[in-house]
Chains A and B, each alone.
Chain A
Amino acid sequence: MERPLTQHIQPGGEPLSLAEYEKKGGYQALRRVLGSMTPRQVLDVVSKANLRGRGGAGFPTGTKWESVPEGAPKPRYFIVDADEMEPGAFKDRYLMEGNPHQLIEGLIIGAYTVEAEAAVVFIRWEYTRARKSLRKAIEEAYERKYLGGNILASGFNLEVQLHVSAGRYICGEGTALVKSLAGDRALPHAKVPRQTQAGLWGKPTILNNAETLCNVPHIISNGPEWFRTLSRCNDGGTKIYGASGKLKRPGLWELPLGTSLREILEECAGGMREGLRFRGVLPGGASTDFLVEEHLDVAMDYDSVQKAGSRLGTGTMIVLDDRTCPVGMVHNLEHFFAHESCGWCTPCREGLPWAAAILKALEQGQGRAEDLDTLGQLTGRLGPGRTFCALAPGAMAPLKSALKFFRADFELHVAEKRCPWR
């Protein structure tokens, strides 16, 4: 089984230096792109590879790059979203800490494709190791002229800088991230015009997740057909899956896209810890719907997970066991989302703390029967289209599915006037 993204990473070890990366074939893809390919050709290859965004939304990367209108104004900006703040997600950190040049190479190829001459890697402050490794890698890349003016004598220029975020989940929303880069409060704004028309400083802007870009050099080197064969579904490539919770071996693994939930949880993670039973899983991070026992054979690809009623999201799953209170878990999640709401739109700003307060009351034995109805209503009122951006609908996903799958647990909290797990 091929593991292009992680094959050279030493778990817990030092990041690959430029020399090491080059020795493993690094920057060959970039040389080929700059030496012999037009942006259009690169775009065709990436489009054919069926690479979909690994940040959560799963938008086809080729389509995104293509949406920069021909003749759109310059400068154009290329942004890497390395602000991994989804609770339960830790895959980008692993890639950046282990093999930063892979990301930088993907970034340069992407920027070349959309003719961007300025790039920003947007990374969260808490990722101190990843920050250091990226900073060093960027310096090395400048020294070797992979970055800067006239890269590899191709006439292509690219300046890259690292922006360390002061911390906000909402920066994962592309339009908010751009506000943050402009030195402003990270508030999402309308999707008209698209960012690819007018993003950072009102100029065309491309935003890709870190893992997504790590795939790009491999697609160039090995071709789109190869990339598609890596997966077990229509979309190409491998995926870094992660699993946490009370498993025997929590961790992350690079597997073919479309590997089943059961395979990941039971074979890779070794199943539940002694004496515990599986009750449910958030398959793609905190903002995805619970899947339960009956879904264990679902293939972890974009379409299959969606069909099962959830989202692939970041592909990093959080497991709920039978000794952990689902109400408490959802309370923790809603508390997080309420705290991370940017405060722009009413349902998110007011609805999330309300949901969190009700869940807390349930946990403290002060729940009322009608609270469950209120929570149910909130999942609708904070749903897609009701709020300004996707934060609140994401926040409602675990709550809504928990009310569906673990309703008896909620009712028990009300009936017994306490949390049965405490």
Chain B
Amino acid sequence: MLTDLMKRELLAEIDRTETRQAACIEALQIVQRHLGWISNETLREIADFLNMTPDELEGVATFYNHIHRKPVGRHVILVCDSVVCWIEGVEEILEHIRATLHIEPGETTSDGLFTLLPVQCLGACDNAPALMIDEELFTNLTPARFDEIVAAYRDGKS
């Protein structure tokens, strides 16, 4: 359900754009910020709000990387798998995540806390490997540092 708050935010975005549809990428991001992901029902509601058909909005939603059309955990771990991080050993980090969180890229931990997703170069190549958790960037990763970061999130850092 789109709340009044979300609708206000959507309207503010619509105000700035030429057509209602032009606000759709921002709209998906706004709603996702509130709900974590875009369910089928949510997508329909947003489409209605923007005078789009769900078919039209889905075409856009499935084009971009950061629109989650499946549920995600409380925190989304975005591990950069691009070239510099690869050179600097991101595969080792990913192996470590598999071993400790027991999830593959695209999966969510059984406690619903973390979803692991690969991401394109985060522009932190001078401090590779890098990852983001939600909106925060972490660099110079090692397995030990990863454990610390994850522990902090487990302890309730949001």
Contacts and interface: CB of A to CB of B under 8 A. Distances in A.
B125 A88 contact: yes
Contact of B22 (A86, A125, A183, A333): A183
Contacts of A332: 81-83, 86
Contacts of A406: none
B7 to A, nearest CB: 17
Contact of B120 (A87, A129, A316): A87
Interface in A162-188: 163-169, 180-186
B26 A164 contact: yes
A228 B119 CA distance: 39
Nearest to B125: A244
B123 interface: yes
B124 interface: yes
Contacts of B107: none
A252 B82 CA distance: 19
Nearest to A91: B123
A328 B86 contact: yes
B125 A250 contact: yes
B120 A336 contact: yes
Contacts of B126: 90, 242-244, 250-252
B22 A166 contact: no
A318 B87 contact: yes
A81 interface: no
Given A87-B121, A89-B123, A166-B28, A181 B137 contact: no
Nearest to B127: A250
B17 interface: yes
B87 A329 contact: yes
Contacts of A242: 125-126
Nearest to A84: B123
B150 to A, nearest CB: 19
A41 interface: no
Interface in B105-158: 119-128, 132, 135-137
Interface in A181-214: 181-186, 201
A22 interface: no
A161 B19 CA distance: 15
Nearest to A127: B123
B133 to A, nearest CB: 11
A98 to B, nearest CB: 13
B26 A126 contact: no
A165 B120 contact: no
Given A244-B126, A318-B87, A184 B82 contact: no
A93 interface: yes
Given A125-B29, A164-B29, A166-B29, A87 B83 contact: yes
A328 B86 CA distance: 9
A324 B16 contact: no
B64 A165 contact: yes
Given A165-B25, A185-B59, A286 B120 contact: no
B23 interface: yes
Given A128-B132, A128-B136, A244-B125, 17 more contacts: A85-B121, A87-B83, A87-B125, A93-B123, A128-B135, A128-B137, A129-B137, A163-B25, A166-B64, A168-B63, A182-B22, A183-B22, A244-B84, A244-B128, A318-B83, A329-B87, A336-B120
Instruction: Pick the 5 closest A-B CB pairs, nearest first.
Output: A167-B65, A166-B64, A244-B125, A90-B123, A87-B121
8 contacts: A87-B125, A88-B82, A90-B124, A183-B19, A183-B24, A183-B25, A185-B60, A336-B121
